[in-house]
Amino acid sequence: MNAFWIILTGSLVATCCSLLGCYLILRRMAMVGDAISHAVLPGIVIAFLLTGSRDSVPMLIGAGLLGVLTTFLIEFFHRYARVQADASIGVTFTWLFAIGIILISVYAGQVDLDQDCVLYGEIAYVPLDLWITEGGLNLGPRTVWTLAVVTMLIILYIVLGYKELFLTTFDPAYAAAIGISTSVWYYSLMTAVSITTVASFESVGAILVVAFLVAPAATAYLLTDNFKTMLLLSVVAGILASIAGYYLAVWIDGSIAGAIATVTGIEFMLAFLFSPTRGILVRKKQLQPVQH
């Protein structure tokens, strides 16, 4: 049963991250996703200190706000202080992440988070924190419920905003010309990434969030030319990685989050080499007759 809950948790995180990741990589914002996933840490710690719990709505909102603030800060440093774009990302997220780690050390007694957990999460403990109603009914792990709600929200967001997100990602200038606000969709997307990151953080840690944001989407991007298929394939790749990663971790007795990230990398490598349309090994074969 534990395996089921862990894999389910991983799959839920994979689903929201992969979906949003498709937009991030097409907007060339993969590193912004990386930055947000690190920078929400102080928000999580502060929200935790204030509310004393992990799976609370204030926590999601508070830390989510910090994620959006991160994008504002990156923008601000870049536009008003004219810091080079990549440096602006690098300075912002390392700074906020460092604050988060320091807060954790200072309030070590009050915050139920430790440094290692921040990096690679505690997905193995997910099944331990059960939601049991007053009547004694066992509803399963709390984290799964939180993540399920967040996943539903993300799917709803993408379904409702599908055409606007599609257009502002592909051709922002045209979108603006016909009256679709690019900044509304940009910041709502960043909000979605932040909320997802916060919800996923404690179970899978910062690094797996990045891996899930980027690797399944990149894998899907090499396999298809249809955007809807890309969304779908990225989710499939993410879920498969959760399953395979779990068993890999059990097999070599290591971190589950680390193992899942490893599998997403293997998936990408396979697509990179063998994608029917874009794999570098496959492409070579197709090109050979042309050379003669």
Partner 1 sequence: MIIQVENPVVEVHDLTVSYDRKPVLWGIDLTLPAGSLVGVIGPNGAGKSTLIKAMMDLLPAGSGYVRIFDKPIAEVRNRISYVPQRESVDWDFPASVFDVVLMGSYGKLGLFKRPRQADKDAAMDALQKVGMQSFANRQISQLSGGQQQRVFLARALAQNADIYFMDEPFAGVDIATETAIIELLRTMREQGKTVIVVHHDLQSATEYFDWVVLLNMRLVASGPADQVLTQQLLEQTYGGKLTVLTKVGELLRKQEFPARES
Partner 2 sequence: MREFIEFFSFADANIRFVTVGSVLLATSSAVVGCFTLLRKRALVGDAVAHAVLPGVCLAFMLSGTKNPFILLLGAFVTGWLSLITIDFITSRSRIKEDTAIALVLSVFFGIGILLLTAIQHSGNAAQSGLDKFLFGKAASLVGEDLIAFSLVAVLLLVTTILFYKELAMLCFDKAYAKTIGYPVRALELLLTTLTVFAVVVGIQAVGVVLMAAMLITPAAAARFWTDKLSLMLVLAALIGAFSGVSGAYVSYTAPAMPTGPWIVLIVSMIAILSFAFAPGKGWVSRLLRQRRNKTLILEENLLKLLYHLGEEKQDFHLPHSLQQILEKRAIPKKQVSAGLSKLRKQGYIEKTPAGWQLTLQGQRRGERVVRLHRLWELYLTQYLQLASDHVHEDAETIEHIITPELEQRLMEELDYPVLDPHSARIP
Residues engaged in binding partner 1 (CB under 8 A)? 26, 160-164, 166-167, 169-171, 173-180, 221, 224-227, 229-230
Residue 121: C-alpha distances to residues 100, 117, 134, 221 (Å): 15, 4, 29, 27
Count of residues that interact with partner 2, criterion CB under 8 A: 63
Q: How far is the CB of 74 from partner 2 (least distance, A)?
A: 12
Distance (Å, whole) CA 98 – CA 80? 24
Q: How far is the CB of 156 from partner 2 (least distance, A)?
A: 26
Distance (Å, whole) CA 218 – CA 272? 9
**Among the residue ranges 56-64, 80-88, 147-155, 166-174, the one whose residues contact partner 2 (CB under 8 A):** 80-88
Which neighbouring-strand residues pair with 130? 141
Contacts of 82 by beta carbon, 8 Å cutoff, 6+ apart = none
Q: Which helix (H) or strand (E) holds 134?
A: none
DSSP symbol at 189: H
Q: How far is the CB of 272 from partner 2 (least distance, A)?
A: 6
Q: Residue 121: left if φ>0, alpha if ψ -120 to 50, beta else—which one?
A: left
Distance (Å, whole) CA 231 – CA 158? 10
Nearer to partner 1 (CB atom), residue 227 or residue 268: 227
* Using rule CB under 8 A, residue 196 touches partner 2: no
Q: How far is the CB of 172 from partner 1 (least distance, A)?
A: 9
Nearest to 205 by CA among 146, 249, 255: 255
Distance (Å, whole) CA 48 – CA 66? 14
Amino acid identity of residue 251, one-letter, is W
Nearer to partner 1 (CB atom), residue 180 or residue 270: 180
Residue 247 binding partner per list partner 1, partner 2, none, with a CB distance cut-off of 5 to 8 Å that depends on partner kind: none
Q: Find the length of the chain.
A: 292
Q: Tell me, residue by residue from 241 to 270, as one string, x for binding to partner 2 by CB under 8 A and - for no binding.
A: -------xx--xxxx-xxxxxx-xx--x--
Nearest to 211 by CA among 189, 237, 191, 232: 237
- CA 45 vs. chain centroid, Å, equals 19
Nearer to partner 2 (CB atom), residue 51 or residue 84: 84
Q: Tell me, residue by residue from 7 to 46, as one string, x for binding to partner 2 by CB under 8 A and - for no binding.
A: ------------------x--xxxx-xx---x--------
* Using rule CB under 8 A, residue 47 touches partner 2: no
Q: Which helix (H) or strand (E) holds 141?
A: strand 138-141
Q: From the CA atom positions of the chain, what is the Rg in Å?
A: 20
* Using rule CB under 8 A, residue 213 touches partner 2: yes
Query: Which residue in the set 3, 50, 102, 156 belongs to the binding site for partner 2 (CB under 8 A)?
Result: 102
* Using rule CB under 8 A, residue 120 touches partner 2: yes
Given the rule CB under 8 A, which residues bind partner 2? 25, 28-31, 33-34, 38, 77, 80-84, 86-91, 94-95, 97-99, 101-102, 105, 108, 115-116, 119-120, 206-208, 210-211, 213-215, 217-218, 221-222, 248-249, 252-255, 257-262, 264-265, 268, 272, 278, 280
